A and B are shown apart, each in its own frame.
Chain A
């Protein structure tokens, strides 16, 4: 018997949800708790320590500002990609998804430059607890960006074949990937002021 799970494409009438949309929100709730725990750890360590280094001495604010712009742009383009599918414009979907992937790569390259600058000055996680938290929080965020990039690349390349066979399900997948990408963006919007500006 072929596998048939209901509500993968159409919404369940009484909940108004597809399975994937509910699942991605639940997953993101769990992610909020993960980053929330780390932010709490940061607050507790910083407020409890007698000496906390001046954060601005260690970080590159202009570079991070540029990175913030890059990441926010990619959030816009992934919405455009999803909207293009809703309007049945597959070509512009490819354009916008391609831009999203490029922006994600750009973010990683800029982040790599920033990490390189840290190591050049011999700033390592063990140097002090600010740098420790900096590397943990940004490192985990980078891991999330890479995860999102892999998914977006798949949806741009081999995964896009599904557009021909099951367009509604494909649009659902792009929507889920977009929600996740927004979350990654949102985490950065918290990270930026906490680690760079405060």
Chain B
């Protein structure tokens, strides 16, 4: 018998590691969300002391409970960092990928269980490093999650620690992605050919390639920035830069745009790292709850691969206004228009898949259904940003914030919620409470739109992002300023409704309906394993053999409306 530590803390089992990832990242999601709730107070009521909790942040951050601009910048930078690198990606890849992917391919574990464990603990270390930076003199990093130099060059020590934290996170993701790809390529069950893989696995595979090949660019950039900050090199520091009325000492000759190129070479593929696992989750939930196969499976797989490939060729559309030149802008606006095509194909295929289905409106399905229009809004509002000329007006406004939050928050995070409701019975053996789940969904859906929809209005009016007072000092945005209060109350409302989710997660552990091994009557191999499969690599009673594609729902000529992947073809069954 493995000891308690081996079983639950330093576990080598992909399911335990998946749960570790999921719980840690959910805590980080809540933490990053809380940072934003604090910021929203300052935006709605600039200069007024934070009620109730204002005294907690100390004189250095919020004297008399009034948030200082430096503290506001910390909250902004760390909100982005925590949400992307410690919340969404670890939950989507580390959590769902680790738990579900080996089950769906019929493997007994990941290819390298020890690497898997190391990957989780490096992630944990990176997270602790990021959190610890808040108590440093000058606080955490405050140059935005993008850490552009020269701003980040003059930032407090928190920025150096941020770079160190990123190093841990990048190493963790490197180990994870090598492990994921090897597992998917090598450990597929007999009969599970490439085009019989569930779409979720495809999403994870493409994501792993993006993590493997894009993150090193940020690693290089972080190394160079650390050299600039610690050893006084000038990789990102131009000659003759004036700061605080004085010319900055140092060799000079560097280029701040170099950072932006390296950073976005990671950070654009990162967008697809955020979205592809979410699409995978949505496909699994939609097929099971419409009782029909997905429309255009091969087309979707092709689109996902094309999406992954193209995502390496669009990074500079984040940099149209840097003066890098119109011919470069033209190239990147063209590739950006091209990359929108596979996204539209995938979204259209998902909409078409609903047609003629007998839809079950349970909580995971509601979240998955909401993903479609929400991601749609996020994607379509991205087009004017991808065109260099219209980006001139929209760049650096709240329109941009609205755009990418629609992709990531009501888009990806809704898909992740859907995934939690959907696979919770597999992990615990019990279903989550439907009533609480539906309240959680309805409240979240209303309030999240209350936050992000007005951002488009404000952005189109020209309100800039990253303003400490929410733009109160600018005359041209005074007509849209009142939305700030509405958005902040929506944000706090959204926070309130997350309580239903948190209570549900804990309550259903004891009181949830026992689920059996396949509560959704789904076809993929994860549902062939018993619920809460035994630890120590015992996923399946006997090694499964796959005989059919992933989504054999409502096959004509059969009694049941679903046929699991490991069931052999029968007489009379339509092929």
Chain A residues within an 8 Å CB radius of B214: 33
Bound CA span A23–B109, Å:
16
Judge whether A37 and B111 touch: CB under 8 Å: no
Chain A binder among B227-235, B468-476, B552-560 = B227-235
Chain B residues within an 8 Å CB radius of A154: none
Bound CA span A64–B72, Å:
51
* Nearest-neighbor residue (CB-CB) of B228 within chain A: A132
Q: Which one, B215, B253, B536, B537, contacts A49 given CB within 8 A? A: B253
Judge whether B109 and A3 touch: CB under 8 Å: yes
**Chain B interface size range:** 35 or more
A5 on the interface (CB 8 Å rule)?
yes
- Asked whether A22 and B233 contact (CB < 8 A) given A5-B111, A49-B253, the answer is no
Chain B residues within an 8 Å CB radius of A45: 235, 253-255, 258
* Nearest-neighbor residue (CB-CB) of B12 within chain A: A3
Chain B residues within an 8 Å CB radius of A36: 216
Judge whether A129 and B251 touch: CB under 8 Å: yes
Judge whether A19 and B223 touch: CB under 8 Å: no
Chain A binder among B121-129, B182-190, B418-426, B487-495 = B182-190
**Chain A interface size range:** 35 or more
Chain B residues within an 8 Å CB radius of A15: 185-186
Judge whether A44 and B227 touch: CB under 8 Å: no
- Asked whether A126 and B112 contact (CB < 8 A) given A15-B186, A23-B178, A49-B253, the answer is no
B224 on the interface (CB 8 Å rule)?
yes
Q: Which one, B111, B113, B181, B216, contacts A34 given CB within 8 A? A: B216
- Asked whether A132 and B227 contact (CB < 8 A) given A45-B258, A126-B250, the answer is yes
Q: Which one, A23, A38, A125, contacts B182 given CB within 8 A? A: A23
A73 smallest CB distance to B (angstroms): 29
Judge whether A1 and B231 touch: CB under 8 Å: no
- Asked whether A126 and B212 contact (CB < 8 A) given A3-B109, A4-B108, the answer is no
B265 on the interface (CB 8 Å rule)?
yes
Judge whether B235 and A26 touch: CB under 8 Å: no
- Asked whether A129 and B113 contact (CB < 8 A) given A23-B178, A45-B258, A136-B223, the answer is no
CB pairs A–B below 8 angstroms (22 shown)? A1-B538, A5-B111, A19-B182, A23-B112, A23-B178, A23-B182, A26-B181, A30-B213, A33-B216, A34-B219, A37-B221, A38-B223, A38-B224, A41-B262, A45-B235, A45-B254, A45-B255, A125-B231, A129-B235, A129-B251, A129-B253, A129-B254
Instruction: Identify the B interface with A (CB < 8 A).
Output: 12, 108-109, 111-113, 174, 177-179, 181-182, 185-187, 212-217, 219-221, 223-224, 227, 231-235, 250-251, 253-255, 258, 261-262, 265, 536-538
